Amino acid sequence: MDLIIKNATVFDGAGGPAAVGADVGVEGGRIKAVGDGLAANGAEIVDAGGLALMPGIIDSHTHYDAQITWDPTLDPSPAHGVTTTIIGNCGFTIAPCQPEDRDLTMRNLTQVEGMSIDALRAGIDWDFESFPEYLDAIERRGVVPNVAAFIGHSALRTYAMKAAATERAATDDELATMEAIVAEAMRAGAIGFATSTAPQHNGDGGIPMPSRLADDRELETLVRAMGVEGKGVFMLTKGDRTDVPYLDALAGKGGRPIMIAALLHNPTNPDGTFADLRAIAKAREAGRELWGQVSCCPLTMDFTLASAYPLESLKAWAPAMKLKGAELSALLADAGFRDAVRAELDQPAGVRLFNGEWHKIAVTEVAKADNGSCEHRTVAELAAEVGADPLDWMLDFALSEDLQTLFTAILLNSDEDAVGRMITDDNASVALSDAGAHLTFFCDAGFGLHLMGHWARDLGVMPIERAVHELTGKPADIFRIPERGRIAPGYWADLLLFDPATVGRGAKRRQFDLPSGAPRLVTDALGVHGVWVNGRRVVGGGDDETAAGYPGRVLRSFLN
C-alpha cells in the first residue's frame, strides 16, 4: 500500500454511524482496505489521532468554468474539503466558443458571475473552441480537484446564434446546431445539460443571459438530446415561468434526473420553497427523479451601487445596468427612476432577490472617513434617523461617496428555522455554493464545512453522518458519479480529515488576487487537517503539498 491513515473515526459517506479507530489504506489512488491495524509494509503512515475521516466533498454547483483556465487549483474549494467540483451550472459556460465570440461570451459572464471583465480578459486561456476541446484543455493543464462539466446553454446559444442569442427564440437551423453539440458534448463526457431561466441572470449592460430567451421547444429538444444515450442530469435555475409542474411536464418523461435550483427561503414568500419541494415530492411519487437544490448558507451579498446585483432583478433597475460613471450617477439621482423602483418594490414578487427589506441592507465599509459612524448600521435605521425614504437615503449616501460605499444585503435564507427544514427535506440536495462566481458578492465555497459545523454540530438539525452523506455519497448517486463519494475498497481515495469539534468556515475577507488584480471574497476553512485527491495530499501536507501536482481528473464517464 502507498498510504495508511491510522486511527481515524471513519464516516463512510453512506450515512451510517462512524467506525471509531479505523485504518484506511490507499494504493494506486484508490482505497485498498478499511479495517483495524492494517500492516504498514512500507506505506506512508498518517496518524489521524482520532480525528474524523470522510470522503471528499462533492460540490455539485460551482462556476469555475473561466477560473479553471488560469487557476487549476480551483482556489479556495480544495482547502474547504472539496475534492470533486461540477462546473457549468446554470449554463454559464465558455465552451463551445468561436474566437470572434469570445468577447461576447465574457461580457455575458461578467455581470452574472460578479467578475470584472478585465479579470476575464486577462485570465481566460482560450486554447479550445469546441466542448470536447475544452475538456481536453483542462486535462492538458491539469487540475487539483476532480472536475465534471455540464454542457451549458448560454455558451451553446451564443455559438449557434451570435448576438441574437440574447434577443429571440432559435430558428430550426440554429436549434439543430445546438442539438448536435449537446449530443457531441455528452459523448465527450459532459455530466448533463444546464440552463437558467432566472430573471436575475443578466449579462453585461443588463442584457438577459441567452438561455432566458429559449422557448419550450428548444428546452425540450436539448434535454432530449442530452438523454439520448440514457445518461445525463438536466440542471436548471428556474424563474417565474418554469415552475416545478412545468419542468416535470417538459423534461420529466425523459427519465433523466432533474436538479432544480435555486431553492432559497424568501421571507416575503415564506411558503414558496416548501411549495416547490411539495411539487417535487409529487413528481417523485409518479416515478420521476426531481431534486430541489437548496443552500445551507444565508445569501448575503456585498455590493456597491456601481454594480448593485441585489437590485438587478427589478425591471425598473434595468436602465442602471446599461450605465457607468457620471451617467449612472445622474440616473440614480433621478426622481422618476427612484419612483419606478419604489413602485416595483411595493408589488410583491415570488422570485426576486431584494424585496424592500431595508433593515436587511447595512453599510459595511464607507469610502469617506467622516462617514465612519454609519458602518454596520442598517439603511432602515439610518434613513429613519433623518426622516428620509430608505431608497433615497441609500442612493444619496452612495452618490455622496462616488458609489464607493460597500453595502451588505442579507437577501434570502436567513430564517434558520425554515432553512433547517429545507436542508433536511427528503427531496432536497444541499449545494449551491456558486464557487467561482459572484466573487465580489459572497463566498460559499465552504458550504460543506458550514453544514457540518453550524447545522450538524451547533444546531443539531441532523447527525454528522447524515451531513457527510449529504455532501458525498448522495451527490455521487444523484449525478451518477462512479466510485466516488464513499470510503470503501475500490473507491477513489478522495478524503477529508477534519476535527468535528472545530469544523466550519471563517469570516469572509477581500483579496485582490484575480487576473488584473481584481478583488474577490474568500473565507478560511476551520478544522480541516488534510485533503487527498485520488490518493495524493493537496491540503495539510506541509512542504510536499506542491509535490502532489495536479492529481484531479476530468470525470467523463457516468452511470445510467
CB of 61 to Zn ion, least distance (A): 6
CB of 198 to Zn ion, least distance (A): 9
Rounded to whole angstroms, how far apart are CA atoms 39 and 332?
70
Sole window of 181-189, 206-214, 333-341, 430-438 interacting with Zn ion (rule: CB under 5 A): 430-438
**Contact by Cβ (8 Å): 188, 180:** no
Size of the site for Zn ion (CB under 5 A): 3
CB of 319 to Zn ion, least distance (A): 25
Residue 151 forms beta bridges with which residues?
193
| Residue among 112, 106, 101 nearest 321 (CA) | 112
By beta-carbon proximity to Zn ion, the closer residue of 451 and 487 is: 451
What per-residue string of b and e applies to 499-524 under the rule 16 or more CB within 10 Å gives b?
A: ebeebbbeebeeeeebbeebebbbbb
Residue 59 forms beta bridges with which residues?
85
90 lies in the binding site for Zn ion (CB under 5 A): yes
By beta-carbon proximity to Zn ion, the closer residue of 89 and 202 is: 89
Binding to Zn ion in span 158-187, by CB under 5 A: none
Binding to Zn ion in span 461-500, by CB under 5 A: none
Rounded to whole angstroms, how far apart are CA atoms 26 and 28?
7
| Residue among 465, 484, 451 nearest 9 (CA) | 465
By beta-carbon proximity to Zn ion, the closer residue of 114 and 485 is: 114
Rounded to whole angstroms, how far apart are CA atoms 204 and 210?
12
By beta-carbon proximity to Zn ion, the closer residue of 43 and 261 is: 261
CB of 372 to Zn ion, least distance (A): 35
Kindly tell me which residue out of 67, 77, 89, 427 binds Zn ion, with binding defined by CB under 5 A.
89
CB of 28 to Zn ion, least distance (A): 35
62 lies in the binding site for Zn ion (CB under 5 A): no
By beta-carbon proximity to Zn ion, the closer residue of 242 and 405 is: 242
93 lies in the binding site for Zn ion (CB under 5 A): no
Query: DSSP assignment of 176-222, as one string?
Result: HHHHHHHHHHHHHT--EEEEE--TT-B-GGGPBPGGGG--HHHHHHH
CB of 498 to Zn ion, least distance (A): 26
By beta-carbon proximity to Zn ion, the closer residue of 148 and 464 is: 148
CB of 163 to Zn ion, least distance (A): 24
By beta-carbon proximity to Zn ion, the closer residue of 54 and 86 is: 86
By beta-carbon proximity to Zn ion, the closer residue of 90 and 514 is: 90
By beta-carbon proximity to Zn ion, the closer residue of 25 and 436 is: 436
Residue 315, Cβ density class (10 Å: 0-12 exposed, 13-18 middle, ≥19 buried):
exposed
CA distances (Å), origin 174, targets 107, 122, 196, 213: 22, 31, 19, 13
DSSP, collapsed to helix, strand or coil, labels residue 258 as strand
Nearest residue (beta carbon) to Zn ion: 90
The amino acid at residue 460 is G
CB of 435 to Zn ion, least distance (A): 9
Sequence length of the chain is 560
Sole window of 88-96, 149-157, 500-508, 540-548 interacting with Zn ion (rule: CB under 5 A): 88-96
Residues 6 or more apart from 30 whose CB is under 8 A from it? 483, 490, 491, 492, 493, 535
Sole window of 14-22, 84-92, 206-214, 523-531 interacting with Zn ion (rule: CB under 5 A): 84-92
Rounded to whole angstroms, how far apart are CA atoms 14 and 462?
15
* Site map 209..238 versus Zn ion, x via CB under 5 A: ------------------------------
**Contact by Cβ (8 Å): 527, 499:** yes
End-to-end CA distance of the chain: 32
**Contact by Cβ (8 Å): 173, 101:** no
Sole window of 5-13, 356-364, 426-434, 474-482 interacting with Zn ion (rule: CB under 5 A): 426-434
CB of 357 to Zn ion, least distance (A): 23
CB of 200 to Zn ion, least distance (A): 11
By beta-carbon proximity to Zn ion, the closer residue of 32 and 63 is: 63
Query: DSSP assignment of 280-301, as one string?
Result: HHHHHHTT--EEEEE-SS-EEE
By beta-carbon proximity to Zn ion, the closer residue of 174 and 434 is: 434
The amino acid at residue 126 is W
CB of 442 to Zn ion, least distance (A): 12
**Contact by Cβ (8 Å): 127, 94:** no
By beta-carbon proximity to Zn ion, the closer residue of 89 and 110 is: 89
Sole window of 67-75, 146-154, 201-209, 434-442 interacting with Zn ion (rule: CB under 5 A): 434-442
CA distances (Å), origin 347, targets 273, 315, 359: 19, 12, 18
Sole window of 89-97, 283-291, 450-458, 475-483 interacting with Zn ion (rule: CB under 5 A): 89-97
CB of 45 to Zn ion, least distance (A): 41
Bond prior to 501 in cis (omega within 30° of 0): no
Sole window of 119-127, 167-175, 197-205, 433-441 interacting with Zn ion (rule: CB under 5 A): 433-441
By beta-carbon proximity to Zn ion, the closer residue of 59 and 179 is: 59
CB of 211 to Zn ion, least distance (A): 12
Q: What does DSSP say about strands 528-533 and 495-498: parallel, antiparallel, or unpaired? A: antiparallel
Interface contacts to Zn ion, rule CB under 5 A: 89-90, 434
